[in-house]
Each structure stands twice: as structure tokens, then as C-alpha cells.
Structure 1
Amino acid sequence: MNEIVQLISSIITGIYSGIIVAKYFEFRTLREESSRILHKGLTAKDCGFELSIISSSLKRLGHKNTAKMLSEISNDYMKLSKSIEIIGEDGSISLPSIEEAPRINDENNRLRIRVANLQPSWFHIIFPFL
């Protein structure tokens, strides 16, 4: 009888540990995808759309503060991109000048660092059923 209780306890502990690892992995995947989106150098509209989808996923997983921070990062990226996007008559987007490029690159790097520093809601990872 004691062995059966230990076996059931071990199975439940293993499943619970697997759920915690899966929840954290899902958060990290979304955070890394956010960083990749910023690295791609998408237009403000495309980047805002992609990051809003990720932000919604983070909210659904219970990471509300992180989702809010990602939305702020998205807004900052859109401000940065809109200040340099010059759309021509044919719909093409011109590149920033040589003088603006280092400043834009530095700002983009700061945004990626902010994304890399996003932290999960540990409460929702450790207690996934609440």
C-alpha cells in the first residue's frame, strides 16, 4: 500500500514539474520571438501587430505586467520607426540617413535589451492551475 502511494506521489510530482517547465518554456519562447521581431527591423505597423499578438498571448498565460511592458516597448518602437520611415510615392520605404543610423541602431538595441529583461509572473508558472 505504501509503495502505491509513493508511486502515485512520484507521478503527480513529475507531471507538476513538467507543467512548470512547459509554462516557463512558453514564456521564454514568446520573449525570444519578441526580440527576433525587433531584430528584423519591420515597419512600425508590422512590428506593432506582431508584438500585440505576443502581448495578448502573455496576458492569456497570466503575465499581465510583462504584457503591459511589451506593449510599451512596442509603442516605443513604433515611435522610433515612424520618425525614420519615409514612404515614397510608389509606396517604398526609404532608409535613414548615415547620420541617423547609429542613433536608431542604439535605440533599437535598448529596446531589445528591455525585451530580454522581461520577467515572467512566477506565481502563474509555479501555480499553473490558479
Structure 2
Amino acid sequence: MNGPAVHVDTASPVPPYEQIRAQLAALITTGRIPEGERLPTVRQLAADLGLAAGTVARAYRELEAASLIRTRRGAGTRVAPLPAPPRTPDPAKLAELALRFVTEARGLGVDGETVQRAVRDALEE
């Protein structure tokens, strides 16, 4: 992994394995660590961070369970392909987002026509 570094704050109430997992997950899902990129070995990352190997191994296990990384004997640990986003949005989720937007807009004192115009403008961007 030649990209962004992972840091652990030992004074944080968040367990070190969770800090590692969250940082790597964010780097992977945002594409800062690309698909196929090889991650350091458990021992190497543990040594780099001054942690026990078991701590890093737990983070890697959780990332693997989330299908963000794959570990293969002889090939190491690599970033897995991200799942394709769903093609059809969940109608209930879309309705929830629309209701939230309308509620917030009306809370600002905006009328329905202005809300519709704002949505059309946003769609045209």
C-alpha cells in the first residue's frame, strides 16, 4: 500500500482495531486505495503502528467480512472489487429523502413551487 497512511490514536476510546478498520474502509470505499492494491501484511502493519498483530488481524477479518478486502495465500491481502450500486433505487428510501427535503425546505418558509424549482435546478446541474 503506497497510498495514504493509517494512524491509531492510543488515547482514543475507540479500540485500535476499529480505528484501523474504519480508516481502511473509508480509503477503500472512496477509491483512495484502488481495487487490487495490496495491503501490508498483518505483521508489517502491526509493526508500523506499534500494535499487536492480533489487533490488525481483527481489523482485516472485519474488512474481509464486509467484502472490502480479500486474502489469498501467496497473493496477500488485496482490495476487493466494490459491489456495483443498485440500478433501481429503493422507492421507500427515495420517498424518505424527498419528505426530509420538503420538510426542511418548508421549515425555512419556502413554498411548494420554490421547492419544485430547487429540485429541477438541482437535477439540471
Same fold (TM over 0.5): no
Q: Determine which structure has greater relative contact order: mean sequence separation of CA pairs < 8 Å that are 6+ residues apart, divided by chain length.
A: 1
Q: Whose helix fraction is larger, Structure 1's or Structure 2's?
A: 1
The TM-score with structure 2 as length reference comes to 0.31
